[in-house]
Amino acid sequence: MEIVVVGRHTEVAPRFREHVEDKLSKVTQLAPYAQRVDVEVTHEPNPRQASSSERIELTVRDKGPVVRAEASASDRYAALDVATTKLLERLRRSHDRRKAKSARREARALPAQDAELQVEVESVVDDASVELADVIPAPTETDVAVETQLGDSPVVVRQKVHKTAPVTVEEAINEMELAGHPFYLFIEAETHQPAVVYHRHGWTYGVIRLDAQAEANE
């Protein structure tokens, strides 16, 4: 498994790279088919954000969904410890979920409703009155983050384009939890509608769909 460490606004010392490799050695135990782990180290020079000036973002690239975790602290070693703990927990949950899915295949005789997720589906129409494209240029390169400051304001918008393929609502929920995000944008496999799944509380999720259809990739 390859571990790629890059620094944004900072240099990454060889000693820290070695520490990263040691910390991430357990990844293969939970994700034996992982091909690469991307480690992004970011330093925030603003002294007002000293308590969270060091940010670590970990991304496991596997045959299945991408698994991510990130953390910030005043010390990058501490941030790495927290991010690694989150990552291993998400990989463990993914491993357990695969085992549960295998068990469900063996119990297909049970009523289908016993295995269904309770998902609240909401329909919305995009009626945005402000075209942000006139202010914020859309990125064109896949998986490369682009940050844009809005004029002289302190507001910074970070954008990234991801490759995607239509998925089911259940698959979107799984990928959202693996990425550790409170929401997940996706194209619904059956309707080809742009949609967002989000976590509400407990084991309850919500889905917002746009009244539109994405073009299917040929």
Average pLDDT (81-86) is 93
- Assess whether pLDDT exceeds 70 at residue 213: yes
**What confidence tens digit (pLDDT) does each residue in 9-44 have?**
899 999 999 999 999 998 988 888 888 999 999 998
Domains annotated on the chain, with CATH: 2-107 (3.30.160.100), 159-209 (3.30.505.50)
Strands (E), 28-178: 36-43, 54-61, 67-73, 119-124, 146-149, 156-159
* pLDDT of the residue at 127: 36
Q: Average pLDDT over the chain, rounded to whole? A: 80
**What confidence tens digit (pLDDT) does each residue in 125-184 have?**
333 334 444 457 777 788 787 888 776 667 778 888 888 889 999 989 888 888 788 889
Nearest-angstrom CA–CA distance, 160 and 142: 7
